[in-house]
C-alpha cells in the first residue's frame, strides 16, 4: 500500500518515512502543501498523512481541495495544537482522523491500520493467485500454506503484481507504484528485485507465477 506524508518538519518527515517503510508501506514525502496537493492529484494513494501547519497552503486547505476534487483517499491529520477548534476544522474539511503531536509511533501505526481497514471494508484484504496468498493488513505471505518471509520492498513488489494479476506491468509502472516518484526506472534494480522474489515465490514449485514479458515488463499469472 502507498502512503503520502505531507510534513514540513524534515526530521519528522524522515522519521515517518523510515518507520512506515519498515512496516512495508511505500512512502512518498512532500514538504509543503502545494507539493502534497500535486502528488495526491497525480498518484493513487491508499492513505495521506497530512500536517495542518504547512508553509504556503495549509493542511486544512489541502484536505478541502482534495475533497472538492473528488479524491476520497483517507486522510490522517497531524496537529501540533491539542485544541478542539483545529480538530473540528480538520474533520469538517474532510479529514478521517487526527493525531496530536508529539505522538507515539505505535499509535500512528494503529490509526493507519484502522483507516486502511475501513477503506478495505467492501474489498477483500487477501490477494490470491493459485496457491499464493498475501494479506494486506497483516502483511503475511504464503504459498501452498508455507509462510514466505519477504523484505519490505519484495513485499511491495509482490503486492503490486497481485493487484494487477494476469496483466502486464511495465518497469515504469512498477517504479511509480513500488518505489517513489523520482526513481530511475532505467536502472536494473527492478529486475534484481524480481529475481529475489522469484527465488522465494517460484523456486521449488512446478508452476511458476512470475513471468517476464521481454522488452516490456512482467506479469503474474498461473503457469499453464
Region 41-45: mean pLDDT is 87
Cell numbers representing residue 56 in the block: 504556503
For cell 486502511, the residue is: 116
Give 132-187 pLDDT, tens digit per residue.
999 987 889 999 999 999 998 999 999 999 988 999 998 888 887 887 655 665 67
The confidence score (pLDDT) of residue 44 equals 83
Residue 129 clears pLDDT 70, i.e. is over it: yes
CATH number of 2-119: 3.40.50.2300
pLDDT at 107 over 90: yes
Query: How does residue 88 score in pLDDT terms, banded at 50, 70 and 90?
Result: confident
Backbone angles phi, psi at 101, to 5 degrees: -80, 145
Please identify, in words, the CATH class of the domain defined by 126-220: mainly alpha
- The grid coordinates of residue 159 equal 503486492
pLDDT at position 40 is: 93
The reported pLDDT for the residue numbered 14 is: 94
* Mean of per-residue pLDDT scores for the chain: 89
d(CA 183, CA 42): 16
* Averaged pLDDT, 119-141: 82
Q: For residue 76, give the C-alpha cell.
A: 490522517
Domain boundaries, the chain: 2-119, 126-220
Q: What is the pLDDT of residue 142?
A: 95
- pLDDT one-digit tens code per residue, 73-86: 999 999 887 778 87
Average pLDDT of the segment spanning 185-196: 85
Nearest Cα to 132, choosing from 212, 24, 208? Answer: 208
Q: How much is the CA Rg of the chain, to the nearest whole Å?
A: 19
Question: Is the model more confident about 59 or about 224?
Answer: 59
pLDDT band at 219 (very low <50, low <70, confident <90, very high): very high
Give me the pLDDT at residue 6, please: 97
Q: What is the pLDDT of residue 186?
A: 63
Cis before residue 102, ω within 30 degrees of 0?
yes
pLDDT in tens, 60-73: 999 999 999 989 89
Alpha helix (H) ranges present in the chain? 10-22, 33-42, 59-68, 84-92, 105-119, 152-163, 171-178, 189-201
Residue 17 Ramachandran class (φ > 0 left, ψ -120 to 50 alpha, else beta): alpha
- Which of 66-75, 84-93, 107-116 has the weakest average pLDDT? 84-93
Q: Is the pTM of this model over 0.85?
A: no
Amino acid at each position: 500500500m502507498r502512503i503520502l506524508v505531507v510534513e514540513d518538519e524534515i526530521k519528522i518527515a524522515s522519521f515517518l518515512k523510515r518507520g512506515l517503510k519498515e512496516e512495508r508501506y511505500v512512502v512518498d514525502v512532500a514538504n509543503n502543501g502545494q507539493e502534497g496537493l500535486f502528488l495526491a492529484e497525480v498518484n493513487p494513494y491508499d492513505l495521506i498523512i497530512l500536517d495542518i501547519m504547512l508553509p504556503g497552503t495549509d493542511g486544512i486547505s489541502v484536505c478541502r481541495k482534495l475533497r472538492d476534487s473528488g479524491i476520497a483517499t483517507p486522510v490522517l491529520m497531524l496537529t501540533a495544537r491539542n485544541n478542539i477548534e483545529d480538530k473540528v476544522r480538520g474533520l469538517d474539511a474532510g479529514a478521517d482522523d487526527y493525531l496530536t503531536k508529539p505522538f507515539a509511533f505505535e499509535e500512528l501505526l494503529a490509526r493507519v491500520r484502522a483507516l486502511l481497514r475501513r477503506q478495505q471494508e467492501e474489498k477483500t484484504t487477501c490477494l490470491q493467485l493459485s496457491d499464493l496468498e498475501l494479506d494486506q493488513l497483516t502483511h503475511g505471505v504464503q504459498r501452498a500454506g508455507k509462510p514466505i518471509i519477504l523484505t519490505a520492498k519484495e513485499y511491495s513488489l509482490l503486492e503490486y503484481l497481485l493487484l494487477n494479476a494476469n496483466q502486464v506491468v511495465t518497469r515504469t509502472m512498477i517504479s511509480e507504484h513500488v518505489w517513489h516518484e523520482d526513481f530511475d526506472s532505467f536502472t536494473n534494480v527492478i529486475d534484481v528485485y524480481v529475481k529475489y522474489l522469484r527465488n522465494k515465490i517460484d523456486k521449488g514449485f512446478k508452476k511458476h507465477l512470475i513471468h517476464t514479458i521481454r522488452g516490456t515488463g512482467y506479469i503474474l499469472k498461473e503457469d499453464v
